[in-house]
């Protein structure tokens, strides 16, 4: 057992400013709103920038708390992160003098673990905190660690930290995941692009954010290709160069607004959004009776003709892409409370992601939670204002949706969770005619 003293300081989480959303329900949404870049792409792209000493420039980066936290983590280890204008970030990783990602980073944002692959492959070593689980499930990182080992890394786990070393360069290899993992695929890819030789990743996640990362890596000079729907192949390079990239639109933010328009029987236009990555979700919308029209970079949603009786119930099951995204399960559930009949919900990706339905029930929803993965929603139920608590960001955004539908005033505590992943969500709902404000807790 190595000396553990350096890691035994007392970890004191920073106090989070407690905010509450106050929402007055009962208004149909109408108007136009813009969709930002995808959180789950932006974070990985920023991590990829550490693969080169040259400058990388990202546009359409969402101004969200998780991007701010990753910026802080990168700066702490010696990376230069400039923020010349809104939604634009420039990253130069010439000097990285501190190959250590501390518990503070992991505690604030699980996705900080995406730095394992790029730092290990470029600098040959890194010490990184185990992010542990969160409110939506256990969320282990064993598959990321196994992938690094398959590329020749030596990794020990002590005192909550992974001590990772690459003797010489990492070497290409066959990475066979026992199940699909999004960040596991991305971490493996980020390590393999600078490894010596050929890597195959199977089954590789198919999420659009993974393909956005592939596109960026190719601009950096990496030889990486999706050679089959579930397979990514990489020929490692010695060096990568800087590149520019615009972050892919956020399909989860778009889906959240589509569900909001449906639930309030509104009519809205989303700009900067694409239907391309929303296939399974749009199938659910179509079977429920929410009309969605897709343009080149706009989406129109019209639910004004559907009175309560017209929304149809629908059984849903979340799956890795191209299935229905687990991140869209919560907003879809809000819509299901307004549909006629019983809808079965199967959350197949995370084990605790139905917990938030307890809060939805406090607003009058008729929900039976059968077990960790299954629930039944009976509708339509008139929702009413209540005092509810947010546990994670997608649930938080969805409680706002429920509050928009509800009769009366809802107070939603824990607003900081929502700021992690949605840029100016309250301002966007205000633009669409909602009555929403942000208050400090206790006011």
* Half-sphere exposure of residue 413: CA atoms within 13 angstroms, side-chain side: 10
Q: Would you say 21 or 350 has its CB closer to ligand EPU?
A: 350
Q: Would you say 22 or 417 has its CB closer to ligand EPU?
A: 417
| CB 143 to ligand EPU: min, Å | 3
Pick out residues in 406-425 that bind ligand EPU (CB under 6 A): 421
Q: Which of 89, 257, 281, 350 binds ligand EPU (CB under 6 A)?
A: 350
Question: Residue 285 — left, alpha, or beta (φ > 0 → left; ψ -120 to 50 → alpha)?
Answer: alpha
| CB 226 to ligand EPU: min, Å | 17
Contact 350, 134 (CB under 8 A): no
Kindly indicate which of the ranges 100-108, 193-201, 322-330, 336-344 contains the residues binding ligand EPU, using the contact rule CB under 6 A. Answer: 322-330
Axis-axis angle for helices 116-123, 142-150 (nearest 10): 20
Q: Would you say 46 or 375 has its CB closer to ligand EPU?
A: 46
Pick out residues in 196-255 that bind ligand EPU (CB under 6 A): none
CB count in 10 Å sphere of residue 122: 24
| CB 201 to ligand EPU: min, Å | 13
Q: Would you say 15 or 178 has its CB closer to ligand EPU?
A: 178
What distance in Å separates the CA atoms of residue 378 and residue 372, rounded to the nearest whole number? 18
What distance in Å separates the CA atoms of residue 358 and residue 386, rounded to the nearest whole number? 12
- Using the rule CB under 6 A, is 19 a contact of ligand EPU? no
Query: Binding marks (x or -) toward ligand EPU, 21..60, rule CB under 6 A?
Result: ------------------xx--x-----------------
| CB 10 to ligand EPU: min, Å | 28
Please, which residues bridge with residue 409 across strands? Answer: 24
What distance in Å separates the CA atoms of residue 353 and residue 371, rounded to the nearest whole number? 11
Which helix (H) or strand (E) segment holds residue 375: the answer is strand 374-379
- Beta-carbon contacts of residue 337 (< 8 Å; ≥ 6 apart): 263, 360, 365, 366, 367, 377, 379, 380, 381, 383, 402, 405
Q: Would you say 364 or 414 has its CB closer to ligand EPU?
A: 414
Pick out residues in 70-129 that bind ligand EPU (CB under 6 A): 111
- 276 φ, ψ (degrees, to nearest 5): -50, -35
The SS3 of residue 360 is helix
Query: Binding marks (x or -) toward ligand EPU, 122..151, rule CB under 6 A?
Result: ---------------xxxxxxxx-------
Q: Would you say 274 or 318 has its CB closer to ligand EPU?
A: 318
What distance in Å separates the CA atoms of residue 249 and residue 261, rounded to the nearest whole number? 19
- Looking only at the bridges linking them, the beta strands covering 174-176 and 198-202 are parallel
- Using the rule CB under 6 A, is 152 a contact of ligand EPU? no
| CB 179 to ligand EPU: min, Å | 6
For 8-42, give the DSSP string: -SPP-PPPPPPEEEEEE-----EEEEE--B-HHHH
**Structure tokens, 289:** 């009776």
- Using the rule CB under 6 A, is 326 a contact of ligand EPU? yes
| CB 230 to ligand EPU: min, Å | 13
Pick out residues in 165-184 that bind ligand EPU (CB under 6 A): 179, 181-184
| CB 208 to ligand EPU: min, Å | 11
Query: Binding marks (x or -) toward ligand EPU, 353..392, rule CB under 6 A?
Result: ----------------------------------------
Could you tell me the sign of the dihedral formed by the alpha carbons of 339, 340, 342, 344, in that order?
negative
Q: Which of 394, 413, 417, 419 binds ligand EPU (CB under 6 A)?
A: 394
Q: Would you say 30 or 372 has its CB closer to ligand EPU?
A: 372
Q: Would you say 182 or 434 has its CB closer to ligand EPU?
A: 182
Q: Report the side by side order of strands in the sheet with 100-101.
A: 100-101, 125-129, 161-165, 154-158
The residue ranges that bind ligand EPU (CB under 6 A) are 39-40, 43, 111, 137-144, 179, 181-184, 325-327, 349-350, 393-394, 421
């Amino acid at each position: 057992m190595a000396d553990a003293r350096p890691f035994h300081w007392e970890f004191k989480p920073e106090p989070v400013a407690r905010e509450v959303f106050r929402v007055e329900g009962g208004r149909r949404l109408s108007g136009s709103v813009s969709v930002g870049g995808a959180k789950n792409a932006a974070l990985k792209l920023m991590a990829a920038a550490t693969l080169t000493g040259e400058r990388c420039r990202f546009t359409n980066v969402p101004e969200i708390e998780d991007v701010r936290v990753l910026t802080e983590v990168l700066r702490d280890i010696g990376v230069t992160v400039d923020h010349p204008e809104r939604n634009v970030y420039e990253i130069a990783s010439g000097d990285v003098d501190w190959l250590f990602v501390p518990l503070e980073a992991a505690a604030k944002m699980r996705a900080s673990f995406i730095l394992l692959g790029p730092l290990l492959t470029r600098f040959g070593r890194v010490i990184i905190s185990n992010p542990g689980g969160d409110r939506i499930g256990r969320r282990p990182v064993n598959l990321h660690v196994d992938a690094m080992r398959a590329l020749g890394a030596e990794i020990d786990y002590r005192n909550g930290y992974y001590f990772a070393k690459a003797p010489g360069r990492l070497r290409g290899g066959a990475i066979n995941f026992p199940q699909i993992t999004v960040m596991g695929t991305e971490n493996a890819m980020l390590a393999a692009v600078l490894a010596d030789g050929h890597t195959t990743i199977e089954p590789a996640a198919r999420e659009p954010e993974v393909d956005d990362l592939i596109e960026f890596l190719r601009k950096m000079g990496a030889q990486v290709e999706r050679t089959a729907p579930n397979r990514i192949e990489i020929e490692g390079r010695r060096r990568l160069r800087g590149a520019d990239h615009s972050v892919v639109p956020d399909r989860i933010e778009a889906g959240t607004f589509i569900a909001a328009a449906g639930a309030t029987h509104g009519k809205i236009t989303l700009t900067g959004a694409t239907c391309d990555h929303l296939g399974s979700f749009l199938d659910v919308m179509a079977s429920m009776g929410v009309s969605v029209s897709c343009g080149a970079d706009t989406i129109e949603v019209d639910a004004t003709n559907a009175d309560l009786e017209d929304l149809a119930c629908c059984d849903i099951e979340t799956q890795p892409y191209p299935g229905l995204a687990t991140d869209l399960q919560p907003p879809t559930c809000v819509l299901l409370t307004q549909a006629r009949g019983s809808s079965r919900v199967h959350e197949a990706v995370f084990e605790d992601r139905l917990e938030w339905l307890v809060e939805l029930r406090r607003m009058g929803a008729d929900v039976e939670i059968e077990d960790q993965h299954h629930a039944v929603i009976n509708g339509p139920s008139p929702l009413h204002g209540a005092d509810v608590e947010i546990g994670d960001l997608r649930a938080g955004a969805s409680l706002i949706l429920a509050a928009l539908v509800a009769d009366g005033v809802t107070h939603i505590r824990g607003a900081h969770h929502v700021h992690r992943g949605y840029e100016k969500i309250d301002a966007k709902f205000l633009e669409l005619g909602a009555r929403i404000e942000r208050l400090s807790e206790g006011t």
